[in-house]
Structure 1
Amino acid sequence: MTDTLTKTAAGRLFSRPAAVASCAGFVLIGMLQALYGPAVPGLREEYGLTPSAAGLGLSLHFTGGVAGVLAFNAIHSRISNRSLLAASYALMAVGGAGFAFAPNWPFALAAAFLGGLGFGGIDYGLNQLFAVGFGNRSTAMLNVLNAHFGIGAVLGPALIAWLGPGDYAYAFGAGAVLAGALILCTGGVRSQPPRTAQSLGEKPASGGLLSRVLVGFLALYILNVAVEAGVGGWEPTHLETVGYSATVAASATSVYWLMLTAGRFLVVPITLRYAPERILAVCAAGMTVCLLLALIPGAAPVAYAGVGLFIAPVFPTGLPWLNSALPQAKRAGAWVIAASMIGGVAAPPLLGAGIEVSGIHAVPWLLTVLSAASLAATVWLIALTRKASS
């Protein structure tokens, strides 16, 4: 019994304080991402920008995020887990401070990109480490971690609303200070590598099957993030079109994001009893049904809240499934995290193009198609991963 406990403790990458600090790190990246939109009026006044130019701040942040995921993944094998996280927090601290006190807009954009690099490093690093760092509790801990991202995404706009858009610099400065403080909290992150399929003597999947499984996960993540961003971006417009007031539409969208955060906490006890693939199958079916219900005007606000609840566990719950399905593909996690970021950026304008052709009333239909495709990808992955393990 003592040996079992020792092995379990040795297999965990995070001390309890380090795990708490990591959750604070996800509050930070959620907050920083959510600050750019509410800060646009202040940015336009400060630098004399057009709306599209002011929106480049968030675009550069996401571009840096994708680059950060891929770059830190490429060097992870040569640096410790602690160094990866400390460097990422340092980049966010420098980027946040640079954006807050930039003397001109090009300097601010460079700072946004720099902060985005750190954002990508933390998003990749903590998701990847939590996916392997808590043994059988990894799926539960990943959901807790990502729920804190949602908390930060709610706090960011609230902070700008309290300060006023013109004082956005104080919000970014506060984020920089928190990032600097979190560098000091990385000491409890250990560096032993997770055991791979080869080290356990398992037979790795063939190259062709491995490629199909990876493609399936990439499709699953892109489709789910497309639905997540699509609902967040187009729900208020659709609700106003079917007769709701702007206030009700905005409130319903806030409820959607709150449900997405709450769902990750609520699923934690479920992850301790059921396999990730079963949870994802139920989630995909549930959000598809909810999007069909959103076609009924009277049910639409509640239906969209249901989408938030069902889609909440997908991103964090899929990563442990990915690691168990492809233990020999060390970069798989980085690719799906990067793909999810790209999907989040590309989905709203692509949906906008579809809406221009079919009209606002078609929003639930378009999102249902994406959700149904996600369900199909989940079922396909279940079949593929069973074949890989047989």
Structure 2
Amino acid sequence: MSKLTELLDILDGIGLEGFKSNDADRLRLVETTKKLLSRVQTKEERLFDITFSQPIVFSALQTLTDLRLWPQWEANRGGPKSVQELSELCTPKCEANLLRRLLRLLASVHIITETSQDHYELTHLPLGDMWQWIQCRTHHWGPGCNNLPSFLAKNGYREPHDTQYTNYMDWCPGKLDFFGKCVADPAYQDSFSGFMTGWARYKVPWPEFYDTKSLVDGADLSNGGALCVDIGGHHGIDLTRLLDKHPDIPAGSLIVQDLPEVLIGAKDMNEKIKAMPHDMFKPQPVKGSRAYYFHAVFHDWPDSVATEILKNVAAVMKKGYSKVLIVDIVLPPTGASDIQSTMDG
């Protein structure tokens, strides 16, 4: 028992700040901790967490998001505040005792920290626009996941390949697909953009694992040619990361393409990057680019549709010069992580 106490003290002293230069070890610890939790929890505890606790915790997160508490709290530096003080930050106002119950719930799962009776402070979890992730689940993932079992049953438990009959269309009013709903309702696009922006920041920048120097050195930009066209590139974060490594890339040679409803939110993009409204299912207007880049695009589509997207690019590539660069999750035959396997959903 004394050894267990010592071990628990060691574990309790470990934090994110201890892994700033060694993310591989941090991920190993995360995975080991998940395995440990699965072994020491009873089946009742684990199923209670999955089926009862998690939905209630999410409801509390969404409620406090609706009350606009998170940005107000962060604007006040996230330090310890009383329930009454936090109640006054809510817009609209929230009854103090109701807020107390919600905060107590979130503290119990370590999303916020209880510093003393009726006093709470933020942990490292809340980060600005990442609270859009909460709204994104309410808009997209939640209804989709709830509907998936019935959709698969109606589909005869076959892998869905029909882009005109998807799980999203099955539950969405008006039978809109995911991107159609984002176009129809800007709030749905905003929450998805918030999620994608935060998720992109988490990922390893692609110039760290791909030789972008050879891409830049081999490019002929003398007549205003394009260096890289980021197709479905959202707010241009990948082209920004390319510029971070190669700041001398000339303006206009980096092009981010997406639907106009998406690009309208690209307000903080580097001025060297050109935003070009484009539907990837239509002919590619930029001919002879050094690279055509797809990040997290093809996992959204069956092979037949992905082939059509690539045909539009192949038609404008310059032989022996242009490249297609694809960045996406590849599922290993064994030992897939939870991030890999859930993105496969």
TM-score, structure 1 length as denominator?
A: 0.26
Structure showing greater radius of gyration is 2
Give the number of the structure whose residues are more often helix, by fraction.
Answer: 1
Give the number of the structure whose residues are more often strand, by fraction.
Answer: 2
Specify which structure has the bigger relative contact order, considering alpha-carbon pairs within 8 angstroms and separated by 6 or more residues: 1
